[in-house]
Homo-oligomer: A and B are copies of this chain.
Amino acid sequence: MSASDLTSYMDSVGLAARQASALMAAAPTAAKNKALLALARRLREAGPALAQANAKDLAAASDLDEPMRDRLKLKPEVIETVAQGCEQIAAMPDPVGEITSLKRRPSGISVGQMRVPLGVFGMIYESRPNVTIEAASLAIKSGNACILRGGSEAIHSNLALANLVAAALKEAGLPEAAVQLINTTDRAAVGLLIAAPQHVDVIIPRGGKGLIERITAEAKVPVIKHLDGNCHCYVDAEVEFGLALTVVMNAKTQKYSPCNATESLLVHAESASDFLPHIGALLSEKGVEMRGCPRTLALLGPIPGAKIKAATEADWSEEYLAPVLSIKVVDSLTEAIAHINRYGSHHTDAILTTHHANAMRFLREVDSASVMVNASTRFADGFEYGLGAEIGISTDKLHARGPVGLEGLTSLKWVVLGQGEIRV
């Protein structure tokens, strides 16, 4: 596509999205749910057609590494999971139109807040076709229109999925343009999308840190960012050892690649001499490399076969997404909180403690999107939090923080009900 063709294509997509968003904002809950259930049915029926489209993408992506090919693959269980996701979202209450805390004021007016869709969101993501359906289903239920730009390696799979979405919307009497997939792999399309406030109200990028930083720097539209997850577990002075061992091992080793996996372990000096040799042995069994501060190295002692080395300053800020854990001994809760707020990424951090006041202080003073007491950082997730689904995990403070579900795709406007009141 030439540059001017691309511009006019993106303008037509944007205008159609804006028109569809007005209809979606006023759409009855029943119609939105009908579209979601139709989409679930169509996903299950379309197995062979989806497999064919996906095979084209996989054939073209022979040079991708295995984890990326795996994410690109539309396995039957992936399709079943997203179909179930659509059904779950259909079963959730409609966030749109809810009026909260309507209160009578001395002037006589009643003032409350009504939840309404944001309008149009743009979603930019890597080559995971399941995200196409997750984004579409959240858009439909939240009454928004969306413009989707998936990774170019997944273009055939995404187009096949987008056709199912359009058919489901049509079946429910909703505008097909409510969910549009950009049908070109031209990278310039992203640049146009993020610079078009007339078409898009918010951009949600998902992908590597580099991509998100670039989009944030260049966007002329608000961005709900998901930067890195350098998550901590802090083992306090008063702690149930068994519980702490179980939770820390789960937080680090249940999966290494998610952003909510723990990357750094802080241990209070009073617990360290007992706790570190135990956790060191368990981590070593799992093949997890440990990068410790000098006191950690001294207390861990020699563990046969363990990968242990000295942590550098850079380790405290690192999101490994791998079987590596940095470990530091601290002398107080105050030091632990200061370390987390300085080196962490404000994503998810947990304290393991039996001490009530310390737990409360950690909750208040750690400046992260999710703060936890005696639970694995791996719980920071839209499904686990009861949001039904998530479109991302925000590390921003404004608007949406942490897992972003239906509510994060809405806004609150003020409603005033009067009987002819005037301002005096």
Chain A residues proximal to chain B, CB less than 8 Å: 22, 25-26, 97, 103, 105, 107, 109, 111, 114, 116, 118-119, 201-202, 222, 240, 243, 246-247, 250-251, 254, 341, 350, 363-365, 367-376, 378-380, 384-386, 396-399, 401-403, 411-424
Contact = CB atoms under 8 A, between A and B. Distances in A.
Contact of A373 (B105, B240, B247, B418): B418
A246 B422 contact: yes
A18 to B, nearest CB: 10
Contacts of A103: 386
Contacts of A22: 341, 365
26 contacts: A103-B386, A109-B372, A109-B375, A111-B386, A114-B363, A118-B397, A119-B397, A201-B398, A202-B397, A202-B398, A243-B420, A246-B422, A247-B418, A247-B422, A251-B422, A370-B413, A370-B415, A372-B417, A373-B416, A373-B417, A375-B421, A379-B423, A398-B398, A401-B411, A402-B414, A403-B414
A118 B367 CA distance: 10
Contacts of A413: 367-371, 401-402
A240 B420 CA distance: 9
Contacts of A254: 422-424
A193 B92 CA distance: 43
Contact of A417 (B375, B412, B414): B375
A103 B384 CA distance: 11
B371 A250 contact: no
A403 B414 CA distance: 9
A370 B413 CA distance: 6
Contacts of A376: 418, 421-423
Contacts of A424: 254
Contacts of A364: 25-26, 97, 114, 116
Please provide the 10 A-B residue pairs with the shortest distance between their CB atoms, ordered closest to farther: A375-B418, A250-B422, A378-B423, A243-B420, A372-B416, A399-B399, A398-B399, A370-B414, A374-B418, A397-B411
Given A109-B384, A114-B364, A386-B111, A374 B419 contact: yes
B418 A107 contact: no
A318 B116 CA distance: 26
A413 B201 CA distance: 23
Contact of A398 (B222, B251, B402, B417): B222
A378 B413 CA distance: 16
A246 B47 CA distance: 63
A196 to B, nearest CB: 15
A271 to B, nearest CB: 16
Nearest to A254: B423
A424 B246 CA distance: 12
A384 B107 CA distance: 8
Nearest to A114: B363
A247 B422 CA distance: 6
B422 A385 contact: no
Given A401-B411, A401-B412, 15 more contacts: A109-B384, A116-B364, A118-B397, A118-B398, A222-B222, A240-B420, A247-B418, A363-B415, A367-B413, A371-B416, A372-B418, A373-B416, A374-B417, A374-B419, A397-B411
A222 B395 CA distance: 13
A372 B372 CA distance: 41
Nearest to A412: B401
